[in-house]
Chain A
Amino acid sequence: MGTMKQLLYIAIALVLLACNKKEVGPQHYLEEVELSAGGVYIVNEGNFMWGNGSVSFYQPNEQEVTSSVFQGVNGVPLGDVPQSMVKFNANYYIMVNSSGKIEVVDTASFSSVATITGLNSPRYFLGISPGKAYVTDLYSNGVSIINLTTHQLQGQIPVNGWTEALLMASNKVFVANKGADYVVVIDPNLDVVTDTIVLSKTPNSMVVDGNDKLWVLCDGGVSEEQPVLYRINPNSLVIEQSFTFANINASPGNLQINAEGTTLYFLNQDVFKMNTLANALPGSPFILAGGRLLYGLGIDPKTEEVYVADAVDYVQQGVVWRYGVNAAYVDSFKAGIIPGFFYFD
């Protein structure tokens, strides 16, 4: 009976398939990882609850890119929604937001040194001293204090709501309190909040310029208020200047600055560039989005080249575009899924 035979073959094939040693879970091609100094790391968020975040490495001189550096070196996926990464001491610290952890890797090899767990939703990292760092958080209602010697969560400085960007200026730590429309000031020796600067809705990014002024960009929430860019004196905590965006629907973010601290860059659909001494917001874009949904922005401190990321349809490798100081196209390459953050080594 021909059909019986056919069915038997199918059954045998199925049993063989089932017994075969096989791949489990998500798979993708992993390249040999070769890191070199002076490269650009791209933190790719991936999709929330898909576990497909990654770090890509780009070498600007050779124009070569390596995907999934963490997984390629360590053999396990990075986690869910990595948000940012920074070099401190001799390690890179990668905030993996939705996985509630910080991956600590060696700067030379990217091999895992430690995993700091127990965080709720880490966003950004600021090294305070060789043994201590602050990490902002989406949900934990506070800034986490990390012990960098034991790689453990040591405590928390209570701050209401979402804390986002943070930096040090005039020996104080400034934290963009995205959930409460404040910039919170922390004394890094005492780990306590000492002051609160009231701004407009949703401060999302900050930089310090060459004159030691603090710049804070508030996006105004989702069409709730007009976005505002503030210049603040970090010593007196006085708002020295504020630039209000005309369009209430605009959602500017990703405030960056060049190494000299003279030119601000931010995303507002297009890429904008603004001198720190200017007395008005830039009228025309520096780089046009041109149909792309620009998601991440980075400025190479060595060359002042501009890197922007386009997440395309958010379910495929995003594209990173690299432009020269005169906004001329230099290169483009594929990073991971939803590239959102650049770290320039």
Chain B
Amino acid sequence: MLVQGQDDTLQLKEFNVEARITVTEPYKRLVFDSLLRINAPTNLAEVLTNQSTVYVKSYGQSGLATLSIRGTGASHTQIYWNGVVVNSPTLGQIDVAQLPAWLIDEAELHYGSGSLVDGSGGLGGGLQLNSLPQWGRAQVELQQVIGSYGEMQSGLKARYGTSKWQGVSKLLWQQQENDYPYRDFTQQETPTVNLANANYKQWGAVQEVYGKIGMHDQVSARLWYFNSDRAIPTIMTIAPGTATQTDVSFKSMLEWSRAKGRWRHQFKTALLSDELTYTDPDAALQSEVDTRSSKSQYRLKHYGKSTTYTAAAFYDHDQALSSGFDEVKVQDRAALFVNYEQNIGQQLLLTLMARQEMIDGKASPFAPSLGMRYWLEKSERFGVKINISKNYRAPTLNDLYWNLGGNPELRPEEGWSAEGGVIYGDGTPYSLEVTGFYSTVTNWIQWLPNADGVWAPQNLLEVENKGIEVVNELGFYLGSMKVALNAAYTYVNAINKASAHAPSIEGKQLIYVPQHKLSGNAVVAWKKYFARYNHQYTGKAYLTTDNIAYMPYFAPANLQIGRRIQQKKHVLTISAEVRNLYDEAYQVIAYRPMPGRHYRVIINYRWEP
């Protein structure tokens, strides 16, 4: 398992491994835990931009952000909150800038078909966002962030209880004027102007209660509320407008689990609600999307001497009312999942998993996966892993029912993927993970005008993605200074393999998929001081399917320097951060400027009685 560099000023967390749904070793994953906190990220988009080679399509600081993993689209990454999918049933994707890091304890990224363990649809992967109990631990944490362009972020976290029960409360309030200056290269005099209509105000609360009953049972209740008000900026070549969007998100979950002997049971049921209101007075436009979902699942796991069996059943109900629908649209999904793991000797692990889903009574494609991990030596430091899987993504409610254009005849996008890699070491002092991947997706859904001139989705494209991911980590001491370095590189060749409508794009790279992405982090800790330097490079990405226009590379860096002051059980950490250290002018999305050099001060106080 590779852990990204972290310094010793940050506490390690004791995770309740039993409660976690994770992929087994043949599948690649990436865990973000302390990194959710080190530089007080506003949202998950920031975390993933800085700490992974996932391509985050960001429409400006704190603007809409979606993920592209291994060359796939935004709706090919499924995002899970404590094991239930939270992608919008209408849009199929979720804005990761609307997922505040403060309210999440741990994030885990499952690449490619490793996400079959979570659910279907993760042709790119799955991102698990988890909150977990820390038994017997009481803690109060307060955090205040003050940054450029009116950024304010205040957070409170409290853990309390006994070894039998624990309560967790979190509060977050954040806002920013977000009126950062940028050079407007679309005007002849290239004036410096301030981004307009990009401010936001958000607040959220989480309440969780965990309890142990007797020797074997554990119950929990989780509530999540997040309210976001933000202005939606236009692009550089359009005069600022007054469009705004409000998102209100409520999630709740009840969970029971039992660990007795070799058996584990887990049952959870969740109710989710999301309300989105978009208003653009200039276009006399107001659109609303209200979705309600209930999601339940039961997992049974048996640990044998050398085998582990898992069986799971899922039932999801989604309903949505949208300005784009003529009535409430409903979708029901039922799924069965099995996983079998066989250890042969100490070195070989074989896994087999399969998922079969029914959507509105219609069988989805069967999705099996076969994986193998082999340690080349008994010390478990050097291993190889391979897996092959089938996965699919069902059309969204918008794809099926949008009025006009929705196409109820759409078939799911189907993909085959294979992954193979080498893992070496555990980061002390060095570790390396090299993974190659290959996947094809057929029936890729594309919206185009139909014969009557109405934009409608069709199963049009065949896409082939292949590439390589390299993660290096190095940790060592220089005298009393602790140093952790990591560098990750991703190469993605994602091409249109066949297009029924536009054969001229065959063999061309998909738009907004950079071939190269590089990310490097250096963390040093010395006595009470720590510093972190982060630098990323994102190569050019094409803007047109015929690859004639492109976004150039960008390579912003961040530097954070801090000091920890500890007095008995009180820990105060004060740090200052310079973002976009070299004041690079860049855009991720065309004509959506990113901020130049800017600053933040982070004050974190923790009390652990």
Residues of A within 8 A of B (CB): 3-4, 7, 10-11, 14-15, 17-19, 22-29, 49-52, 74-77, 79-80, 98-101, 112, 117, 120-121, 139, 222-223, 249-251, 253, 269, 291, 293, 312-317, 337
Contact = CB atoms under 8 A, between A and B. Distances in A.
Nearest to B234: A49
Contacts of A312: 501-502, 504
A120 B237 CA distance: 13
A52 B448 contact: no
Interface in B31-67: none
Given A312-B504, A316-B548, A10 B487 contact: yes
A313 B487 contact: no
Given A3-B474, A22-B552, A27-B550, A99 B584 contact: no
A14 B520 contact: yes
A1 to B, nearest CB: 9
A19 B582 contact: yes
Contacts of B284: 139
A253 B1 CA distance: 61
A293 B553 CA distance: 34
Nearest to A16: B555
Contact of A18 (B485, B557, B590): B557
Contact of B237 (A24, A80, A251): A80
A51 B537 CA distance: 25
A252 to B, nearest CB: 10
Contacts of A28: 543, 548-550
A11 B453 contact: no
Query: What are the nearest 7 A-B pairs in CB distance?
Result: A23-B552, A316-B546, A28-B549, A51-B591, A313-B502, A18-B582, A251-B453
B535 to A, nearest CB: 5
Interface string B508-541: 0001000000101010000000000001010000
A253 B453 CA distance: 10
Contacts of B187: 76
Given A101-B239, A223-B404, 20 more contacts: A10-B487, A10-B520, A11-B522, A14-B555, A17-B553, A18-B535, A28-B549, A50-B591, A51-B235, A51-B591, A52-B549, A76-B185, A76-B188, A99-B238, A139-B283, A222-B404, A312-B502, A313-B545, A316-B504, A317-B548
Given A117-B239, A222-B404, A250-B452, A337 B544 contact: yes
B472 A3 contact: yes
Contacts of A50: 235, 543, 590-591
A208 B215 CA distance: 88
Contacts of A11: 520, 522, 535
25 contacts: A3-B474, A4-B474, A7-B520, A11-B520, A14-B518, A14-B535, A14-B557, A15-B582, A17-B553, A24-B585, A25-B185, A27-B549, A51-B236, A77-B591, A99-B238, A100-B239, A222-B454, A223-B404, A313-B502, A314-B449, A315-B511, A315-B544, A316-B504, A316-B545, A316-B548
B505 interface: yes
Contacts of A52: 543, 549, 590
Nearest to B489: A10
B502 to A, nearest CB: 4
Contacts of B548: 28-29, 316-317
B404 A17 contact: no
A293 B453 CA distance: 8
A73 to B, nearest CB: 11
A29 B543 CA distance: 13
Contact of B505 (A77, A223, A313): A313
Nearest to B454: A222
A256 to B, nearest CB: 17
Contacts of A29: 548
A222 B404 CA distance: 8
A113 B213 CA distance: 79
B321 interface: no
Contacts of B553: 17, 22
Interface of B: 183, 185-188, 234-239, 282-284, 404, 430, 446, 448-449, 451-454, 472, 474, 485, 487, 499, 501-502, 504-505, 511, 518, 520, 522, 535, 537, 543-546, 548-553, 555-557, 582, 584-587, 590-591
A80 B590 CA distance: 11
A28 to B, nearest CB: 4
Query: Which of B235, B453, B535, B584 has the most chain A CB atoms closer than 10 A to its own CB?
Result: B453
* Chain A at the B interface: SS class: loop
Nearest to A292: B501
A3 B483 CA distance: 14
A3 B484 CA distance: 13
A120 B449 CA distance: 26
Nearest to A121: B283
A15 B448 CA distance: 42
A80 B235 contact: yes
Contact of B448 (A27, A222, A314): A314
B17 to A, nearest CB: 31
Contact of A79 (B237, B454, B505, B544): B237
Contacts of A117: 239
Given A26-B591, A79-B237, A18 B448 contact: no
A24 B586 contact: yes
Contacts of A26: 543, 549-551, 587, 590-591
A18 B584 contact: yes
A100 B505 CA distance: 32
Nearest to A50: B590
A120 B188 contact: no
B507 to A, nearest CB: 13
A229 to B, nearest CB: 17
Contacts of B451: 269
B452 A25 contact: no
Contacts of B582: 15, 18-19
B449 A76 contact: no
A98 B239 CA distance: 9
Contacts of A79: 186, 237-238
Given A26-B550, A251-B453, A7 B474 contact: yes
Query: Which of B187, B237, B449, B553 has the most chain A CB atoms closer than 10 A to its own CB?
Result: B237
Nearest to A269: B451
Nearest to B188: A76
B537 A17 contact: yes
A239 B282 CA distance: 35
B222 to A, nearest CB: 37
A25 B505 contact: no
A249 B456 CA distance: 14
A18 B556 CA distance: 7
A315 B587 contact: no
A250 B587 CA distance: 41
A51 B186 CA distance: 10
Given A18-B556, A25-B185, A25-B551, A99 B237 contact: yes
Contacts of B234: 49
A153 to B, nearest CB: 13
Nearest to B503: A312
Query: Which of A49, A77, A316 has the most chain B CB atoms closer than 10 A to its own CB?
Result: A316
B447 to A, nearest CB: 9
A313 B185 contact: no
A24 B188 contact: no
A196 B452 CA distance: 29
Contacts of A112: 188
